[in-house]
């Protein structure tokens, strides 16, 4: 499907600088774009690429200034505007029609809402409730008494274990496991003995959970994922964790048991949070940070152990200078040794 630059600008409430009649058929990044593509600039670090891009048109901010051969569409927020373009080009997510596939196993006591789609080889256990227009992909497992809200999308091979509570408009990607047992054991006679994990997982509305994420059920009570939380692939969330609304975490984050993460927190990739710590509202935890104690609200930390980001940067700068400092110390030691040798020689001559 092709649309003109002017049509896109009108839909986005933007203004055109250049050829509004040019046609757009695809979307691409600034460096990969070619004729017929629309791209965008949101991060200033990539501003130089706008001058070199082969894109037909580029979405830029209202106040952006720079040289480019492309037609510009000026909008207030280029990243948000770019996300609204795919439907204008005819893109629609692939979705199965409503209905239960003959190869699915749905217990007679389960309740399915209107226009629910259930894929092949899915198993839905007793007491499950699925809300209107939710899609449950192939090979999913919904355990006893699980509740899933309206307009959700579970991609193939998602497992929601017994008692899980999942809100409305939740997206869960392939291979995620909701409600697996928490890592709870005690020692007896040199052996590990399992502590029963009898709690549940509760997920709010408008949450997106990436592929192969694991969210453990509580030992007792609830593991809670708040409204609007965004979780990247391969994240581990342990038992009794509480994640505040609209927090986002990148891939391979690991959160230990009974951690409290506030609202609007950002966790960088591979960050690790030790057990029973609290991360305050609006905090930012840098990639690969190791959080061993509480993090204050609206603060930024990084490094291991996690510390204020400015301090971590200074320490890193000092570490990078260690080879140079080692060489200087060796030279100083050599010079001191020479001076001491001369002093001893002068003493012997005086004697």
Which superfamily does 99-310 belong to?
Hexapeptide repeat proteins (2.160.10.10)
What percent of the chain is predicted at pLDDT more than 70?
99
Residue 335: C-alpha distances to residues 169, 305, 343, 347 (Å): 71, 38, 12, 18
Backbone angles phi, psi at 96, to 5 degrees: -75, 160
CATH number assigned to the domain covering 3-89: 3.40.1390.10
Per-domain residue ranges of the chain = 3-89, 99-310, 322-351
What is the pTM for the complete model shown? 0.89
Residue range 217-240: mean pLDDT, rounded? 98
Please write the tens of the pLDDT for every residue from 206-220. 999 999 999 999 999
Which entry of 107, 239, 276, 316 is annotated as an active-site residue? 239
Total number of residues shown for the chain: 351
Please write the tens of the pLDDT for every residue from 286-295. 999 999 999 9
pLDDT exceeds 70 at position 43: yes
Q: 116, 105, 111, 86: which is closest to 26 by C-alpha?
A: 86
Strand pairing category for 171-172 and 37-40: unpaired
Say whether 276 is catalytic. no
pLDDT at res. 351? 60
């Amino acid at each position: 499907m092709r649309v003109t630059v002017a049509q896109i600008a009108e839909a986005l409430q933007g203004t055109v600088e250049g050829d509004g009649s040019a046609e757009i058929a695809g979307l691409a990044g600034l460096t990969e774009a070619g004729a017929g593509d629309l791209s965008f600039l949101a991060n200033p670090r990539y501003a130089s690429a706008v001058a070199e891009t082969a894109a037909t048109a580029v979405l830029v901010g209202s106040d952006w200034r720079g040289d480019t051969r492309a037609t510009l569409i000026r909008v207030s927020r280029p990243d948000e505007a770019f996300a609204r373009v795919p439907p204008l080009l005819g893109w629609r997510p692939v979705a199965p029609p409503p209905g239960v596939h003959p190869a699915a196993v749905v217990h007679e006591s389960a309740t399915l809402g209107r226009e629910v789609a259930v894929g092949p080889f899915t198993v839905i256990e007793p007491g499950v409730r699925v809300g209107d227009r939710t899609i449950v992909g192939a090979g999913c497992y919904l355990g006893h008494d699980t509740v899933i809200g309206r307009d959700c999308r579970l991609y193939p091979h998602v497992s929601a274990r017994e008692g899980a509570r999942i809100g409305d408009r939740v997206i869960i990607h392939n291979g995620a496991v909701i409600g697996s047992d928490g890592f709870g054991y005690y020692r007896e006679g040199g052996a590990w003995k399992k502590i029963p994990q009898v709690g549940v997982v509760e997920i709010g509305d408008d949450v997106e959970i990436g592929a192969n994420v694991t969210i453990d059920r509580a030992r007792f009570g609830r593991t809670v994922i708040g409204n609007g939380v965004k979780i990247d692939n391969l994240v581990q969330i342990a038992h009794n964790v509480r994640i505040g609304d609209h927090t986002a975490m990148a891939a391979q984050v690991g959160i230990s048991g009974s951690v409290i993460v506030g609202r609007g927190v950002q966790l960088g990739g591979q960050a690790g949070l030790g057990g029973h710590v609290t991360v305050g509202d609006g905090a930012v935890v840098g990639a690969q940070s190791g959080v061993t104690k509480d993090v204050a609200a609206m603060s930024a930390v990084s490094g291991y152990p996690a510390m204020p980001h400015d301090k971590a940067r200074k320490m890193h700068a000092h570490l990078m200078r260690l080879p140079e400092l080692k060489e200087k110390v060796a030279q100083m030691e050599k010079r001191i040794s020479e001076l001491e040798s001369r002093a001893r020689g002068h003493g012997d001559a005086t004697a």
